[in-house]
A and B are shown apart, each in its own frame.
Chain A
Amino acid sequence: MKLTLADYLVILVYFAFVIGVGFIIKRKIRSSNDFLSSDRHIPLWITSLAFISANLGAQEVLGMVASGAKYGIMTVHFYWVGAIFAMVFCGLFMMPFYYGSRARSVPEYLKLRFDEKTRGLNAVSFAVMTVFSSGISLYALAKLLEIILKWDFDVSIWVAASVVMIYTFLGGLTSAVYNEVLQFFLIVLGLSPLVIVALHDAGGWANIKAQLQPQFTHAWKYMGHADSNPMGLHFMSLIFGLGFAMSFGYWCTDFLVVQRAMIAKNINAAQRTPIVAALPKMLMPLIVVLPGVIAIAMMTPALQSKGYSIPAAETGGIDYTMTLPSLIAHYYPSGLLGVGVTALIASFMSGMAGNVTAFNSVFTFDIYQSYFVRNRSDRHYLWVGKIITVAGILFSIATAYIARSFNNINDFLQLVFSFVNGPLFATFLLGMFWKRTTGHGAFCGLLAGTAAAAITHGLTIAEGKGGWIAPLYPIRSGMGQAFIVAGVSWTANFITTIVVSLVTKPKPEEELRGLVFSLTPKQPTKHEWYLNPVLLSILLLAATILLNIIFF
């Protein structure tokens, strides 16, 4: 891939704009709340697009195109099973508690609902995870630019990190959120021409279906048995592991995305944020799954004459991660190549900035202010937030270099994150809907869920990974293993929390008003139909079910 002046110009314009947004927002930052939680004044369309953009990082864009090539249309399950239902649930049932409790973060909600130790456990694990995730994102960006553009690894790391640092240091969360929306449009509009031209080149969807094996173009038809589909999954594992434990755990409890809804102007807008975001999320497979399916179809004998192929990995076989960059290199001319590369850079920077802003909020509010320095002026916490932003970026850079030296650390960290994240939804589900749940129960449940995840991984083996205790249970795909680990850890947390709660003393009911469903007065909805979260949710779910039927 060789860039021309026009390509570099597009990249420079993008960098100038994201930094410019930081300078514009800087003038509005006067307090720690402005910097760390946007003081709850962001319009709905921005919070909604930021809600999905925070998830539209590199792993999403490159990873889903790669999965589209590897597993075919089944990858849409990450959207139509693993996202929409959880987003709707988050909006309808969880946002009223997050927003109504006036908590500034998800760990702070845990403090209000349970106790200090549960908040501390969640805050520390979340802070560590976000800063490492940010570093891995940075490493992946530099590595990709080194491979496809032959750019120097160190220069890429420092330039990308510096740009993110400038705009997050200047404008805090608002700046990150505004840039996420710009990045959303850039990714969607920058990759849309690629989908159109590649689909046309492949002879349309009908020809792709004719060339590929039917397992690659049906989402559900071959899921009755694990051996008959590319993911190696039974539909029950998919529904419980991905559709319930993993997706609800991520979309309903991960502060990185929930934070975007918590900065909405009012509770109705906060509720509608994940629901409105679910609409573009539902259509995202057109941009990030379809190109992968097209790419693998282009490698079939009938379409080989088009001259496209996914590059080979160093170890032999197909390097699926390179599917999107290779499509961009094949179809985009100069100028447009710059748009494609900028879209990739935007996805990495979006992921990194999202992690850094979530990290500085949780560190400042839930760790520094709670455990180290209380009752200082707001100006003090504003400056701590800014210093933590810089520290978070520097930690990310250090992580990126560690990841470069020890390549396996990426897999290891992702694994540890899944152990911590997997069981979390059980804690929130019980905490919000069962008033008897206690702080001791929640804390023990989280520990038990994480331990169960580690043990399950140690007893199962898939694609050479896991089985470090004893490889007793072989699973065909790593993805299937992840779903089973998530399901087991959720169940362990759920049962442990209930058992420990029943033998420990609950909080008095008056302390739980506004935090638990049964103790919170329901507000009658007096909105026009298009503002009604329930009606919007029903329409969305109907459309999602319809899509699943069409691509059955």
Chain B
Amino acid sequence: MSEGRQLSTFFVDDLCFGIDVQTVQEVIRRLVITRVPLSPVQVGGLINLRGQILTAIDLRRCLNLPQRPLCEFPVNLIIRTEDGLVSLLVDEIGDVVEPDKDMFEHLPSTLRGRLRDFVLEAYKLPSHLLFYLDTRRLLSGGSSGFPSSEPSNG
């Protein structure tokens, strides 16, 4: 299944993830991100991509990882989706890899939480594990969806 699959890799909180290289349009560092109050948690804000307003999805928030330190700027990984372009906020961009079949690994059944929702497969790279992400599920919030950041009206 995985032969010839090229993955564009990136790092979020020292974890390495990959998505199909085909879906990636471009990588942009240093873009002003406009926060959107009351938005669902995974939304990092809005960015201006050459006159187009895109929603930026913060992968740290998607995956319930600790917040990015304030001094670090996220990298915008612009991907194509059915609903147009979306920016994924990640920590750092890695290489494009083409993992071998024998690197394939099923997800350990003990893995729980958000990661399990979005990760399709895992690969043992020489230096670290690479998680292959399902962007479609990631953007729709997975099986359980994303909680709204808005506290319920009491």
Asked if A pairs with B, the answer is: no
